[in-house]
Amino acid sequence: MSSSSSSSSSPPCPKKMITLKSSDGETFEIEEIAALQSKTLENMIDENCASTPIPLPNVKGKILAKVVEFCTKHAEAGADAETLRAWDAEFVGVEHAIVFDYILAANFLEIPTLLDLACESVAEMIKGKTPDEIRKFFNINNAFSPEEEEDVRRQNQWAFE
């Protein structure tokens, strides 16, 4: 997975553990091979910054634990696609506030698989809802400028102007 060009690089040792530290001080161990799912972590490992616990000030312990779980699962050899899909579905079958946190974490840590999964699940939550329902569901404040309100009103006219 990693294509390090430094002469001292060696293939990732499966049992080599990296330590991550969440914003609220919790530490988590993750196999190096699983950590490589994150481009951010991959870069740090490549640059040999991974000997001490890596501080991740943007990720809370509760979420980091799940991210570690996700990466570990996806690094497993021999998992068949269908089982993994089912596992993924369960993983994101949580409150949307948590999925939001997954998105932020996956974005910060650059984990494309997790970001894709979380975004897809949000898309499913959005589909079929009216704007009002979406706002209520996600607790979004509807702040449009007067020009934008006018746009919206115009678009709901049936006939050409």
Residues that bind other proteins (CB under 8 A): 24, 60, 62, 95-98, 100-101, 103, 107, 115-116, 119-120, 122-123, 126-127, 130-131, 134-135, 137-145, 148, 151-152, 155-156, 158-160
Given the complex with other proteins, which of 45 and 106 has the nearer CB atom?
106
| Residue 91 beta carbon to other proteins: minimum distance, rounded to whole angstroms | 16
| Residue 65 beta carbon to other proteins: minimum distance, rounded to whole angstroms | 13
Given the complex with other proteins, which of 52 and 145 has the nearer CB atom?
145
Looking at this protein, which amino acid is placed at residue 25? G
Mapped onto helix, strand or coil, the DSSP state of residue 27 is strand
| Residue 29 beta carbon to other proteins: minimum distance, rounded to whole angstroms | 23
| Residue 95 beta carbon to other proteins: minimum distance, rounded to whole angstroms | 7
Looking at this protein, which amino acid is placed at residue 149? E
**Which residues, listed in sequence order, are joined to residue 17 by a DSSP beta bridge?**
31
Q: In this structure, how many other beta carbons lie within 10 angstroms of the beta carbon of residue 86?
A: 10
Mapped onto helix, strand or coil, the DSSP state of residue 28 is strand
Please answer whether residues 63 and 102 qualify as being in contact, where contact means their C-beta atoms are separated by less than 8 angstroms.
yes
Interatomic CA distance for residues 104 and 107, integer angstroms: 5
Q: Return the closest-CA partner of residue 62 out of 97, 86, 32.
A: 97
Given the complex with other proteins, which of 47 and 148 has the nearer CB atom?
148
Given the complex with other proteins, which of 5 and 158 has the nearer CB atom?
158
